[in-house]
Amino acid sequence: MSRAVALVTGANRGLGYETAKQLLARGWSVLVAARDRDSGEAAARALGKGARFVALDVTERESVTALSKQLDAPLSALVNNAGSSFDGFDVSVARRTLEVNYRGPLRVTDTLADKLAPGANVVMVSSAMGELSRFSPELRRRFLDESLGRSELAGLVSEFVERVGRGELGGFPRNAYSVSKAALNAFTRIAARELEPRGVRVNAICPGWVRTRMGGNGAARSLEQGASGIVWAATLGEGGPSGGFFRDGRAIDW
């Protein structure tokens, strides 16, 4: 039997690398996607048999398209893990953060959608920082509206950037990372609806606060603990949940 194939973005280090490691230990093949060739190739070498480096910058349309053309075997899992947190708070930080953490996974998921095997799992590595309790009740209502579609979500995201420029946040948190993850969560619900007819599950995961370059040395959780919830969502079988937000395999509030 051929091995299940996963593609993990930002797999050269941190949670992406550990997710690849745990999937390989389960007998999967893993495409180790990274924007930096040297560290991506080094990671694939360190991970060993079944791991292969593929170049991917999630913010570059050409890079995502080139990767898509290169894929032969269908993917059993797509793990949208790559993410960034930038210092400061202004329009440029808001734009760059949304580009990596929200538009990146959206672009990768849309471009690779026809490479997903029936019954595949798409995992959005999100964060409790994206919880809607950080937003005004009115924005919470707009994000959670059942009829929220792609254009309404794009509108909410543009409104945030405009408001940051005006210095008048109108109920959005003063944190671009939080807004990017809330938008990613909303896209998770939309993509889950869209891909349901093909039996593809789409879930958002909070790994908890994990010791990585982003999380810092003082974080409460190990890489192994953080990645295990991602691997849980990447390996769900028939009848598994879709369109949810989970930590350690348990549903949490949006």
- Minimum separation from the CB atom of position 13 to ligand NAP (A): 5
Pure H helices in 82-149: 91-98, 104-112, 137-144
What is the strand order of the sheet 5-9 is part of? Answer: 51-55, 29-34, 5-9, 75-80, 116-125, 201-205, 245-247, 250-251
In 3D, which of 144, 179, 145 has the Cα closest to residue 163? 179
To which H or E segment does residue 19 belong? helix 14-25
Q: Please tell me the count of residues contacting ligand NAP according to CB under 6 A.
A: 31
- Minimum separation from the CB atom of position 146 to ligand NAP (A): 26
CB–CB of 191/120 below 8 Å? no
The radius of gyration of the chain from alpha carbons, rounded to an integer in Å, stands at: 17
Name which position in 42, 50, 59, 110 contacts ligand NAP (CB under 6 A).
59
* Complex with ligand NAP: residue 5 or 215, whichever CB lies closer: 215
Candidate ranges 77-85, 160-168, 188-196, 238-246; the one touching ligand NAP (CB under 6 A): 77-85
Name which position in 5, 100, 120, 200 contacts ligand NAP (CB under 6 A).
100
Residues in the chain: 254
177 included as an active-site residue: yes
CB–CB of 206/127 below 8 Å? yes
* Complex with ligand NAP: residue 104 or 244, whichever CB lies closer: 104
- Using rule CB under 6 A, residue 16 touches ligand NAP: yes
Name which position in 3, 35, 140, 150 contacts ligand NAP (CB under 6 A).
35
Residue 141: strand pairing partners? none
In 3D, which of 66, 152, 161 has the Cα closest to residue 107? 66
Contacts with ligand NAP, 171-190, as mask; x by CB under 6 A: --------------------
How many other C-beta atoms lie within 10 A of the C-beta of residue 252? 14
DSSP-derived 3-state class of residue 14: helix
Contacts with ligand NAP, 202-231, as mask; x by CB under 6 A: -----x-xx-xxxx---x------------
* Residues 134 to 163 in contact with ligand NAP, rule: CB under 6 A: none
* Complex with ligand NAP: residue 153 or 223, whichever CB lies closer: 223
Supply the residues annotated as catalytic. Answer: 177
Which residues of the chain form contacts with ligand NAP (CB under 6 A)? 9-10, 12-16, 34-36, 39, 56-59, 81-84, 100, 104, 125, 127, 207, 209-210, 212-215, 219
